[in-house]
């Protein structure tokens, strides 16, 4: 589904993220873990073709199926972004227009990406059901829904567009534990129902372990460890990974 080789993101000649390689098949989930500034989000922006708008330079190979994303022009990217690959953010409200209702936003999104008028309503209802939202939410404005509802609405947009790959950049970090679990369940359902491949970015290995098949640990812009989720959690090879695991709170532990 998506294949990366020697991906480098740089600004002013300074490399801020370097990913040697990873492959993600249909329905698989890659978790990318690391502290702030480790290169996680820069990797995500590169995969979405967005670094160019902030002056970033991307080298290496990023393939989505047979398409080499690193060679696409801005016009070509508009035909891919939102139709084959999409992204949800830590703060979904920042991506929602506060002046229009969620229903208007949903309809415009489907229209922009070529969904026929006769099909839009059914797509919206199905997608909302998949993320456990009532259709009444479409009459509301972004400020009238909770953070968890806004995040699930963002995922509903992805489900309705039926993209091949979803990049989820810290989608649960601003939510409480109960709502985090709900969002993880929604993403799991998206993977199982549609075969969506997911790149799940988080500083929290405990959250990543709930969903990911593979884990990539980044620090200082470099990949320090990579493997299956079981390998990374049970037998981490790097001290940094062990430190991340030790930082996960455990009930009853005093230190």
Report CA torsion sign: 39, 180, 149, 142: negative
As a whole number of angstroms, the distance between CA 74 and CA 50 comes to 9
- Quote the Cα angle for 227-184-170, to 5°: 70
Q: In whole angstroms, what is the distance from residue 203 CA to residue 179 CA?
A: 17
Q: Is residue 165 part of a domain?
A: yes
pLDDT tens-digit map of 85-132: 999 887 777 778 899 999 999 999 999 888 898 999 999 999 999 888
Residue 163 maps to which CATH number?
3.40.50.300
* Average pLDDT value over all residues in the chain: 88
Which domain does 114 fall in, by range?
23-43+91-246
pTM for this structure?
0.89
pLDDT, averaged per 10 consecutive residues of the chain (255 residues), comes to 93 94 93 91 92 89 90 88 87 84 93 89 91 92 89 88 90 74 86 91 86 93 94 90 79 50
Residue range 47-66, pLDDT digits in tens: 999 998 888 899 999 999 88
Q: How far apart are CA 200 and CA 82, in angstroms?
A: 17
Q: How many domains does the chain have?
A: 1
């Amino acid at each position: 589904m998506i294949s990366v080789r020697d991906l480098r993101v740089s600004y002013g000649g300074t490399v801020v993220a370097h990913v040697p390689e990873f492959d993600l098949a249909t329905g698989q989930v890659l978790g990318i873990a690391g502290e702030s500034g480790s290169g996680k989000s820069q990797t995500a922006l590169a995969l979405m073709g967005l670094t160019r708008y902030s002056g970033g330079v991307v080298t290496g190979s990023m393939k989505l199926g047979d398409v080499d994303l690193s060679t696409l022009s801005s016009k070509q990217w508009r035909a891919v972004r939102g139709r084959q690959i999409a992204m949800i953010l830590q703060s979904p409200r920042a991506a929602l227009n506060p002046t229009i209702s969620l229903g208007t936003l949903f309809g415009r999104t489907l229209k922009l990406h070529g969904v026929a008028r006769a099909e839009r309503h059914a797509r919206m209802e199905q997608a909302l059901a998949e993320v456990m939202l009532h259709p009444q939410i479409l009459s509301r404005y972004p400020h009238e829904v909770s953070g968890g509802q806004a995040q699930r609405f963002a995922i509903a947009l992805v489900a309705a567009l039926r993209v091949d790959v979803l990049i989820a950049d810290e989608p649960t970090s601003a939510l409480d534990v109960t709502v985090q679990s709900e969002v993880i369940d929604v993403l799991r359902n998206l993977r199982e129902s549609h075969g969506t491949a997911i790149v799940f970015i988080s500083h929290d290995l405990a959250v990543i372990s709930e969903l990911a098949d593979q884990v990539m640990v980044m620090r200082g812009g470099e990949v320090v460890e990579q493997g299956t989720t079981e390998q990374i959690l049970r037998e981490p090879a790097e001290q940094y990974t062990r430190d991340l695991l030790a930082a996960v709170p455990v009930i009853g532990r005093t230190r």
